[in-house]
Amino acid sequence: MIRIAELKLPLQALPVEARRAADAPAETDADRTPQPHPIEALRTLAAQALALPESAIANLHVHKRSFDARGTALRAVYIVDVALADPAQEDAVLQRLAGHAHVQRTPDMSWQPPARAAADWTPAADERPVVVGFGPCGILAALTLAEMGLRPIVLERGRPVRQRTKDTWGLWRRRELNPDSNVQFGEGGAGLFSDGKLYSQIKDPRHLGRRVMQAFVDAGAPPEILYEAHPHIGTFKLVKVVEALRARITALGGEIRFEQQVVDFVLAPAGEGRWRLQGLRVHDRGAHGTEYELPAQRVILALGHSARDTFERLHQRGVRLEPKPFSIGVRIEHPQGMIDRARWGRHAGHPLLGAAAYKLVHHAANGRAVYSFCMCPGGTVVAATSEAERVVTNGMSQYSRAERNANAGLVVGIGPQDFPQHDAAAWRAAFGDAAGSRYAAEAAALPDGAVHPLAGVVLQRTLESAAYRAGGGGYNAPGQLVGDFLAGRPSATFGDVLPSYKPGVTLGDLATVLPDDAVAAMREALPAFGRQIRGYDRADAVMTGVETRTSSPLRIPRGPDYQSLNVEGLYPAGEGAGYAGGILSAGVDGVRVAEALGCHVLGVTPPP
Ligand code: FAD
């Protein structure tokens, strides 16, 4: 097939009454038209691009679609794949158009398991691969292993999606946190209650992102995620997709065990300071409430960025960990209509465009980068803590993205040098007296410049506890209006923008919760962002805090064989291990690591 990019067609101007009122979004799923142009129109353009008669094109399908709202005309921009009526002609056409910037051979984006176990594979008790965590990374890892015929066992500390949804609502509606079943933990992982954005900037020469998307579509996700330039699923649809993926893994012989928390690692010495994994200690948090040992030679550790207790255990067992940079800040909310107008101009409200997104970056004079993170058009800010008496914000939306406000993290990059590793009181507050004092002593004994692997967790916990106190308790988040934040005074009343965070927002002074450097950088960035999106720094835009779980505070380094640098059989993966950021990249990492593990089990060479 031949891929042709940059095919542009104007979109019909909609009569004003057919548009969504930009200030009152009321889009429903039904409003979305799969393709605004008939395939015949694209066929005409494609034939022109290839300098062939239309009859030479046997088949055409849309690979990607985006919208260009610059200038006066609104246009759809397509990348299409065409099959010629005479496939033997394809080589000649490609040769004739060699060097044409927008024409190339369609790459093979299909995925096949790199190897398969024999149907009569009868593994020993410790030979079945184990996946810890059932977020996007663990799900795709388990699916890949299951499709390789390796019948994985999945251990997930949280509960199945339906129960988890109720538990999560418990925090948002009744201020009751379940530390093992919440926005971060449970079936579907951290991305379940999210905007479900499914794009990433990772290098992906093997098109594994497509494999992940196809798996989602096969499990019931809207097919348009395969061709939208910036696809998203939204929370409710994700719930069904995750359930269908679970059913598929189970049908292939995998087992998914919920409320099973891995609490320890059974390691045997392997010489030269290295270890070999022998099994896992598992706390059955369900009906049994007991602890047991699961023998396992090979385990994919897909923990997510919030598994702080497990990170601590890995550190205690001597598994190599490294501190890594992440970002901290707040969530900021504006009227979605304002963002639509800034982004789409006179086309704001066109149902095909949906709610507009944005991405902003500012390099502050103090050396900090301030940027928008995980922007959720037409969404809500959510309480995202997994730990008692701490407050963390994040954002989610439904597929329709129909809520009144746009929200995004407004975050500042920080690195290990910013972690409070020489603050013994902070260590104790973060980890309790005994362990905190021990880690503080470890940190004090490190050579100059070295940073303790758990020091980033200290910073996160310090900020999240401060936010809880500033919110006045009961999981209210501290909030402030942008005008007051810029003027350095606490807020007392809301303006036109009302915050969406539940259970509630307590107005005050966010500068008392965040480090000074971050506050200074944000104060500089907001007016700069206001010059890019008119009204971004409006006085009544609302900020709530704190945003601390932007990525993992540490990395579990792995070698080229995807195994931990000092524990054979342990395969760190996904966001918690520091190898992904976001649903799609976590899923891709899950595929990659599972392929490697599966090939090791089957004694074949993994794909490059
Ligand atoms: P996770 O999804 O965190 O999954 C890890 C799983 O491991 C969890 O289910 C946890 O319960 C389990 N676990 C942890 N410790 C143990 C243990 N000891 N034993 C057993 N199980 C354990 N990303 C996007 O790309 N787009 C978005 O729109 C988006 N929105 C988001 C909105 C919110 C509210 C949040 C919180 C995150 C959002 N993200 C989004 C980020 C995205 O969710 C993560 O990047 C992604 O989920 C990481 O996948 P993962 O599988 O590596 O880890």
Half-sphere exposure of 339 (CA within 13 A, CB side): 29
- Considering the domain boundaries, does residue 110 fall inside one? no
> Please, what sign has the CA dihedral across residues 421, 423, 424, 428?
negative
Mean pLDDT of 432-461: 98
Which ligand 1 atom minimizes the distance to the CA of 185? 11
Mutate to test the pocket of ligand 1, among 182, 264, 374 (most ligand atoms within 8 A of CB): 374
- Ligand 1: nearest atom to the Cα of 584: 25
Last residue of a domain, one of 64, 88, 105: 105
Instruction: Report the separation in Å between the CA atom of 555 and the middle of ligand 1, taken as the mean of its atom positions.
Output: 15
The count of other CB atoms within 10 Å of the CB of residue 565 is 15
Q: Is the pLDDT of residue 354 over 80?
A: yes
Q: pLDDT by residue (tens digit) across 355-409?
A: 999 999 999 999 999 999 999 999 999 999 999 999 999 999 887 788 999 999 9
Atom of ligand 1 nearest to the CA of 382: 34
Strands 567-568 and 361-363: unpaired
pLDDT for residue 294? 98
Comparison of pLDDT for 16 and 74, the residue scoring more: 74
Ligand 1 pocket test: pick from 131, 156, 570 the residue with the most ligand atoms within 8 Å of its Cβ: 156
Cis peptide, bond prior to residue 411, ω within 30 of zero = no
pLDDT (0 to 100) of residue 74: 85
In this prediction, residue 231 carries a pLDDT of: 87
Q: What is the pLDDT of residue 72?
A: 76
Mean pLDDT, all residues of the chain: 93
Kindly give, in sequence order, each residue whose CB lies less than 8 Å from that of residue 454, ignoring residues fewer than 6 positions away.
311, 312, 315, 321, 323, 431, 439, 554
Residue 529 C-alpha to ligand 1 middle, in angstroms?
A: 29
What's the gap in Å between 159 CA and the centre of ligand 1?
Answer: 14
* Residue 570 pLDDT exceeds 60: yes
Is 480 inside any structural domain?
yes
Kindly give the distance from the C-alpha atom of residue 190 to the centroid of ligand 1, in angstroms, as a whole number.
Answer: 3
Predicted TM-score of the model (pTM): 0.94
Residue 147 lies in a domain: yes
| d(CA 317, ligand 1 centre) in Å | 24
With the most atoms of ligand 1 within 8 angstroms of its CB, the residue from 143, 182, 184, 317 to mutate is 184
Count the Cβ atoms, other than its own, within 10 Å of residue 226: 19
Are residue 313 and residue 283 in the same domain, yes or no? yes
Residue 39 has a pLDDT of 86
Ligand 1: list residues with CB < 6 Å: 132-138, 155-158, 183, 185-186, 189-191, 193-197, 261-262, 302-304, 307, 310, 374, 382, 384, 394-396, 574-576, 580-584, 586
Question: Does any domain span residue 120?
Answer: no
Q: How far, in Å, from the CA of 450 to the mean position of ligand 1?
A: 28
Please indicate, yes or no, whether residues 492 and 386 belong to a single structural domain of this protein.
yes
Per-residue pLDDT at 20: 43
Closest CA to 261 of 284, 279, 278: 284
User: Given 84, 105, 126, which residue is the final one in a domain?
Assistant: 105
**Average pLDDT of span 179-193:** 93
Evaluate the CA torsion angle 327, 330, 335, 336 in order and state its sign. positive
Examine the domain organization and report whether 542 and 591 are in the same domain: no
Residues 183 and 280 in one domain: yes
Confidence check: pLDDT of 520 > 80: yes
Determine the pLDDT at residue 401.
86
Q: What would the pLDDT profile of 216-246 be if each residue is shown by its tens digit?
A: 999 999 888 999 888 888 777 888 999 999 9
Query: Ligand 1 mean position to 16 CA, how many Å?
Result: 41
Which residue, 39, 101, 36, is CA-closest to 74?
Answer: 36
Amino acid residing at 15? P
More confident residue, 472 or 27: 472
| Atom 3 of ligand 1, nearest CA residue | 304
Confidence band (pLDDT; 50, 70, 90) for 16? very low
pLDDT score, position 13 = 55
Residue 239 in any domain: the answer is yes
Q: Among candidates 398, 352, 402, which has minimal Cα distance to 33? A: 352
Q: What's the pLDDT at 440? A: 98
Mark which of 526, 547, 568 sits at the end of a domain. Answer: 547
**Measured in angstroms, how far is the CA atom of residue 179 from the centroid of ligand 1?**
14
Average pLDDT over residues 529-556: 98
The alpha carbon of 463 and the centre of ligand 1 are apart by a number of angstroms equal to 20
pLDDT band at 26 (very low <50, low <70, confident <90, very high): very low
pLDDT band of residue 289 (cuts 50, 70, 90) is: confident
Predicted confidence (pLDDT) at residue 17 exceeds the cutoff of 70:
no
Q: How far is the CA of 564 from the centre of ligand 1 (A)?
A: 20
Tell me which of 583, 588, 592, 593 to substitute to probe ligand 1's pocket, judged by most ligand atoms within 8 Å of the beta carbon: 583
473-491 confidence digits (pLDDT tens)? 999 999 999 999 999 999 9
Quote the ligand 1 centre to 153 CA distance (angstroms): 19
CATH of the domain at 85: 3.30.70.2700
Query: What pLDDT is attached to residue 18?
Result: 43
For residue 246, is it within any domain?
yes
293-316 burial, b if ≥16 CB within 10 A, otherwise e? ebebbbbbbbbbbbbbbbbbbbbe
Give how far Cα 339 sits from Cα of 20, 51, 354, Å.
Answer: 14, 41, 11
Specify if 198 maps to a domain. Answer: yes
Q: Are residues 210 and 279 in the same domain?
A: yes
Based on the structure, what is the number of domains in the chain? 3
* Statement to judge: residues 493 and 598 lie in one domain: no
Segment 568-580 shows an average pLDDT of: 98
CA 76 to ligand 1 centroid distance, Å: 33
| Per-residue confidence (pLDDT) for residue 12, from 0 to 100 | 67
397 occurs within a structural domain: yes
pLDDT of residue 37: 81
Model confidence at 274, pLDDT cuts 50, 70, 90, reads: very high
Q: What is the pLDDT of residue 142?
A: 98
Q: How confident is the model at residue 446 (pLDDT cuts 50, 70, 90)?
A: very high
Whether residue 583 sits in one domain with residue 541: no
Question: 210 pLDDT exceeds 80?
Answer: yes
| CATH number of the domain where residue 191 is located | 3.50.50.60
- Quote ipTM for the complex: 0.99
Whole-number pLDDT of residue 236 = 78
Q: Would you say residue 21 has pLDDT above 70?
A: no
DSSP H or E stretch at residue 427: helix 424-431
pLDDT at 98 over 80: yes
Atom of ligand 1 nearest to the CA of 376: 28
Whether 152 has a pLDDT exceeding 70, the answer reads yes
Contact 148, 602 (CB under 8 A): yes
For residue 30, is pLDDT > 80? Answer: no
The pLDDT value recorded for residue 218 is: 97
Are residues 573 and 507 both part of a single domain? no
Cα 180 versus chain centre, distance: 19
DSSP string, 457-474: HHHHHHHHHHHHHHTTST
Nearest CA to ligand 1 atom 38: 191
* Whether residue 506 sits in one domain with residue 365: yes
pLDDT score at 201: 83
313 CA: nearest ligand 1 atom: 18
Model pLDDT for residues 307-337, shown as the tens digit of each residue: 999 999 999 999 999 999 999 999 999 999 9
Residues 203 and 242 placed together within one structural domain of the fold = yes
Q: How far is the CA of 189 from the centre of ligand 1 (A)?
A: 4
Give the residue numbers spanning the domain of 61: 2-105
> Which mutation among 143, 187, 194 tests ligand 1's pocket best, with the greatest number of atoms within 8 A of CB?
194
Site to probe by mutation for ligand 1, drawn from 140, 157, 164 as the one with most ligand atoms within 8 Å of Cβ, is 157
Question: Which helix or strand (DSSP H or E) is residue 121 part of?
Answer: none
Regarding whether 484 and 593 lie in a shared domain, the answer is no
**Do 179 and 241 fall within a single domain?**
yes
Place of tokens 């891995």: 262
